Chain A
Amino acid sequence: MANVDIFQVRTHEAPLLPAPVSTTGAIGWMRQNLFSSVGNTLLTFFGMYLAYSIIMPFIQFAFIDAIWTGDNREACLATDPNTHAGACWAYVKAYLPQFIYGRYPEMERYRVDIVYAMFVLLLVPLLMPSAPQKTLNAILFLVVFPIVAYFLLTGLEIGDFVVFPIVETAQWGGLLVTLVIAVTGIVASLPLGIALALGRRSQMPIIKLVSIIFIEFWRGVPLITVLFMSSVMLPLFLPEGVTFDKLLRVLIGVTLFSSAYMAEVVRGGLQAIPKGQYEGAMALGLRFWPMMYLIILPQALKLVIPGIVNTFIGLFKDTTLVLIVGMFDLLGQIQSSFSDPNWSTPTQGHTGYLFAAIVFFVFCFGMSRYSIFMENKLHTGHKR
């Protein structure tokens, strides 16, 4: 009892002390992520220098020195002949209609606008997993929309009665051609790709062999040779007098090419379906096609949505290649605008390419984000 005042017995919990300043908040984060060791600190400064030397000239060019308004090249010339002016956005503004519609007649451009609007209105709900009426939406998008878009874009004349005046595809250009080739290519290659994927997994040796040869052939050659082939050799394959529209020839080449890639994507999905699903379907007495479209394909296609989106991104970027066979997609239209003496300045090329890069980046980056979103949504098991 005598020692009782030596011990101190706490009657309540000691207050929690805050964590050391150096381990929390911004300072802690920086210590951990930027300056954890000498080497790391050096790396950080090197990285910051690198980023600075890339980003600063870019901002200087694209915003600070940029010329936003003007009617011709005079506006975009540097005031001091020894320096370069910034981006000539006035030129992009003047050429924007060409970049979007090509040489589509000005009076008829509303038709393209309608197609763009329909495309967005039908595609967005289709991409949103929570939106209702998926089947109706898919039918509208995959069947009705292409037919309507075809007549809107090319024109419709019944006898002497002109609903929409005909616009030759040679007059199409810019983003319109890019989107037409990419979307048609992907939509048309989907059924072909599914058929090829099923053929490659078929038990019938000849069908399997033919599918394999077809797929490996198209995957083995560069798209540019395919485009040359469709523009040079396709006319040779047809009887005398039968000619194809140039855009259609390119579309055929692109579709065959991307259907091979699509087939491999779909095959990946088919392989991921457990054997029990096939056996279950057969036990129910389903034949091959009902088994496929009722049981297997709905599951397999859902699995490969990210893969399909990735194929689409690749195709979307590859549409630029059509400028080599003399068509004017977005890049081709921009490239051809450089020959206009009215806007010819030292920075015209840089501005045009920057604009093209931004447009392609926005489209492709958006699609790749969507593909990651779907991947996370579909990837339900084995999450850590």
Chain B
Amino acid sequence: MRTIPFLIVCLAVGAAVFAGAIASGNDYLFFAGYVVMQYIVLATAWNILGGYCGYVNFGTAGFFGIGAYVTVAIHQWHPLPIPLLVVLGGAVSAVIGYGMGYLTLRLRGAFFAIATLALAVVLETLVVNWDYVGGSRGAYIVRPEAIAPFGSYIRYMFMIMMLLAIAALTVARLIERSRLGYGLATIRDDELAAEAAGVPTLRLKLIATTISGALMGMAGAPFPYYIGYLQPDSTFGFDYAVNAIAMSVIGGTTSWVGPLIGAVLLGSLQQLATVTISSAVNLLIVGLLLVFFVIVAPNGILGLIHKYWQHKSDDFVGRRRVDLAAAAAAPAPDGAPGAPP
């Protein structure tokens, strides 16, 4: 499928989801759906660097938080429309992603991972010390009640996040099928061989980090309006990082479909579960699932599906072989030494 038809299908599905949610008349669906969409963006963004290129980013919360706090900072000065905030948050996040990548991506992948792991802590330190955005007390942002023509504001926010999710999926899918996607795959497989084949590995890694960081920042930009009260320690917590990684790994990292499956599955499960069990239990389950999948089914649900199909066709071939063998044995109807009872 080309990109334009893909976009049209995505938009059609999105419109149907939106219409369905409106028809249900329950605004809670939009609140829950917003979070799921947000996770689609985060997981897809993580996978562009982690899945395609093999560089693990633990700083999802950091980049997400940058987007959120850019919004807070701008809001303190002058409220701007959300789409503009998304662009700005994405831009700042992209710049920071590029900078960190530039410093650490020339080294082994582990160093980049460690740097991103520490990133969230540092950003939290910065925000805690920055009174303008609320410091450690946190920042309140009053969400407008309604916006034309959507009615309630959450519907408007849901739509923005859904469009972002569609944009993220489209970007991931484009990368996957492009020269860039091939290049990133060679980096994941063998960086020395990639260089020898003419792949400018550092540049591609930086591109992937920047795109990935930008998308994460964009996902964070509307968040203060969603949550109403933004606190540094919850914003920069590990929850986003573990979710983004778990969703990608559980879905399957080799294709844009993987993070989508993972985010929809884990995201909606968590939305359902928060009603019944505590959020800590929720996160524990995500962590356990991550470890389980990474050990037992490292290629995720996509890998399992793939294997299942392969297995089925193998089975088919196998059974036919057995049938042939049986047919060959048939001319000896009686007295043939059969299997022992």
The reply to whether chain A is a binding partner of chain B is no
Interfacial residues, chain B to chain A (CB-CB below 8 A): none
